[in-house]
Every structure is written in C-alpha cells, then in structure tokens.
A and B are shown apart, each in its own frame.
Chain A
Amino acid sequence: QSALTQPPSASGSPGQSVTISCTGTSSDVGGYNYVSWYQQHPGKAPKLMIYEVSKRPSGVPDRFSGSKSGNTASLTVSGLQAEDEADYYCISYAGNNNWVFGGGTELTVL
C-alpha cells in the first residue's frame, strides 16, 4: 500500500478536463509545498510534469496544472489530448530526507 492515495484510474474525452487527486497527511503533502507529478507512458521513463505543487518545468504544456488544499494535492489536465493517456504519479517530500509516493493513476482518453 502506497503512502499517498491516488485513484487507480481516471478518464475523459478529448478536449475535456480531468483532475487526479493525491491524498497524504500533515507530515507530507500537508506539511510541505513539495509535491511533484510525473507522467509515465508504457515502457518509458517517468517525466516530471509539475514540481513544488504548481510549477511547470520548461517544455510542459500549460494544459497541465497543479494545486493543493490541506493534505490533498491535485493534478488537472485541461484540453485532453490522446497523447496525455499515461500513468500519473505524485511524490511528496516528507522531511528528514524522506519521500513518499502515490500508487499511480491510469489516465484514459476516451
């Protein structure tokens, strides 16, 4: 069982928006603004999509956005495209050089 809870699956039609949640505790997600999100296509390396809750690395489309409320962080993908179909993972810093991970969410573009 992963330390951070994500829904196992999510889906949306092209052009729609979908939000994936990531729930932790006050010791990780709620205690630090250090939640990051990763996209992983089958057989590929994970790719950083969001860091520090809501910041996007260079090259990541602005269709991807992040937010946090209390112990729950969220990733929203707007204007869904076929290439967004992938697994998404959240990671949170948990203090004292320790990290906790989510179990992953499989996003399907219908």
Chain B
Amino acid sequence: QVQLQESGPGLVKPSQTLSLTCTVSGGSIRSGDYYWSWIRQPPGKGLEWIGYMYNSGTTYYNPSLKNRVTISVDTSRNQFFLKLSSVTAADTAVYYCAREAPSIVAFDIWGQGTMGTVSS
C-alpha cells in the first residue's frame, strides 16, 4: 500500500523560499503511470492545486503560481519536492502531497499534510 508523508520547516520568513519534501513508501516513485502532486489549503479556505510532476520528469504548474514554483524528484530516495519562492503571508497553508492517477483522472492517495507558516 503506497503511502505519502510530507515534511519540512514549519516556519518561513516573508520573501524566503518554502521547501517541502514528500516521501513515498510502499512502492517506487518510478513505477507506474502517475503524477506526483502538491496541493495546499490556506486556513479556513478551500484546496488549491499547486502542480505536479510526471514520472518522466515533466512538470505542470498552476498558472497563478508557476513563476514561483519548482517541483523536483530524487528517485534514489523515493522523494519529491516543492520549492515555493518569494513567499508572503498568503502562502500560509497546509501543504499536501498526493498521487494523481491518469487511469482514473483523480488524486487517489494523499499525505496527511504539513503546515507551512510564513511569518517574520
């Protein structure tokens, strides 16, 4: 059973870069036909898709965030990463990693989420 777990610094200063890691267990990040995704939820608000990376390394980003987002992968560690630059208080949110399965066009596995707070 594949599981995802987010990790990273909980607090980042404004204008700095938020860096998060998603560790995949129970299966290889290289196997199968999947998109490895990041999704966030600001306090009291709805979910927002940030972007994802296909197994080939191709990335796709939310147009509203793409100038500040980088998603990358380390297959040797079975991890993928989110970097969000030039953060402001508006980027404070719970950040989830998730797996999107093209065969069903849905996010079938999610991590528990990690809080990312932007504050000086």
How many chain A residues touch B (CB < 8 A): the figure is 25
Contact B107 A38 (CB under 8 A): yes
Contact B96 A91 (CB under 8 A): no
A48-99 contacts to B, CB under 8 A, are 48, 51-52, 55, 57, 89, 91, 93, 97-99
Contact B105 A51 (CB under 8 A): yes
Contact B47 A98 (CB under 8 A): no
The answer to whether the Cβ of B14 comes within 8 Å of any Cβ in the partner chain is: no
Measured between beta carbons, the chain B residues less than 8 angstroms from A31 are: none
Name the one of A36, A45, A97, A104 contacting B106, with C-beta atoms under 8 angstroms: A36
The answer to whether the Cβ of B60 comes within 8 Å of any Cβ in the partner chain is: yes
Q: Known contacts A45-B112, A46-B96; decide if A52 and B46 are in contact (CB<8 Å).
A: no
Name the one of B46, B62, B108, B110 contacting A98, with C-beta atoms under 8 angstroms: B62
**Which B residues are closer than 8 A to A by beta carbons?**
39, 45-49, 52, 60, 62-63, 96, 98, 104-108, 110-113
